[in-house]
Structure 1
């Protein structure tokens, strides 16, 4: 099973339990903290993916870093450690947030750019997406230097590819066909 599918299943299980226990909002806050902390700390990412550390060491480290989280979130840490999948915690958090936002009627837009987006540009993109979809949209941003320039935007099943790499690829195909 691919890591993304496994992360999605863990996230769905946690979300189902959180909704049942009426703790979905609190777990959402925990998942945002987890995602922000892991993405902001190269050391934590190395610790979580380290083959040298035992799963119990990784679990206790997570417990120390995220001491003020919900009991359900701590159970997720234990389950991931038990199944030797602690390295996918950030993806589980990302999937949880996406699934929870879908339940609340919000769409998640995935934007990939060649360079990081400025806060002003993010606001413009969010405003444009709200006018197109008619819903509140949450933006998930990724950076891929291989795009050269431009962006790739995905909302649900729709994709708009305005990257320089895509345009160069299209031009290459046209030239080869002629």
Structure 2
């Protein structure tokens, strides 16, 4: 069977169980943290895939990777290990995050600026995105001095590039074509 299908099935079951127990928000944080751990710690995947490591050791490593997981998340990891599906746990966590966001109508937004912006400006942009997207937004910000000035706002499939760097490139390209 396809690992994507399996991942989504496990994630859907976890979301249904978490929703029934009213802990879906906490489990969401666990799965976000686990997904981030897989991305940040490259050795996590090889450690979990190591057949020489006992299941209880893998359980401990995965619980540590989630931070302070809920009881449901611990039981979920235990089930995944029991069924020998740990090689696709990263995909299960990512699938849970996607399903949760869809269920809660959450989109991701990202603001990149040349210099740090104050909280009021960030709040205004978040409010604008939420009103356009008709849902809540998980907003992240990043400072990239190479933009020179201005900003890049991205959410859902929308991208607004109002950076000085992009404008300069456009001007230079138009001058070079003449």
| Common fold: TM-score over 0.5 | yes
Answering whether residue 27 of structure 2 is matched by residue 30 of structure 1, we say yes
**In structure 2, distance between residues paired with 1:107 and 1:67:** 25
Give the equivalent residue in structure 2 for 1:3.
Answer: none
Residue of 18, 25, 36 corresponding to 2:14: 18
Tell me the C-alpha RMSD between the 2 structures.
4.2
Answering whether residue 145 of structure 2 is matched by residue 141 of structure 1, we say no
**In structure 2, distance between residues paired with 1:129 and 1:138:** 7
Q: Return the offset for 1:175.
A: 1.6
**In structure 1, distance between residues paired with 2:61 and 2:103:** 31
Give the equivalent residue in structure 1 for 2:122.
Answer: 122
**Matched residue pairs, number?**
163
Specify every segment of 5 or more residues in structure 2 that has no aligned partner in the other structure, as ranges: none
**In structure 2, distance between residues paired with 1:58 and 1:17:** 22
Deviations 1:88-125 (A, max 9, x none): 89xx45x6445423323343323333455543222111
Q: Return the offset for 1:50.
A: 2.5
Q: Return the offset for 1:49.
A: 1.6
Q: Return the offset for 1:152.
A: 2.1
TM-score normalised by L of structure 1: 0.61
**In structure 2, distance between residues paired with 1:53 and 1:170:** 44
Give the equivalent residue in structure 2 for 1:48.
Answer: 41
Structure whose alpha-carbon radius of gyration is higher: 2
Is the contact made by 2:30 and 2:70 (CA closer than 8 Å) also made in structure 1? no
Give the equivalent residue in structure 2 for 1:175.
Answer: 175
Specify every segment of 5 or more residues in structure 1 that has no aligned partner in the other structure, as ranges: 1-5
**Equivalence map 1:101-116=2 (5 Å):** 101-115=101-115
Give the equivalent residue in structure 1 for 2:86.
Answer: 82
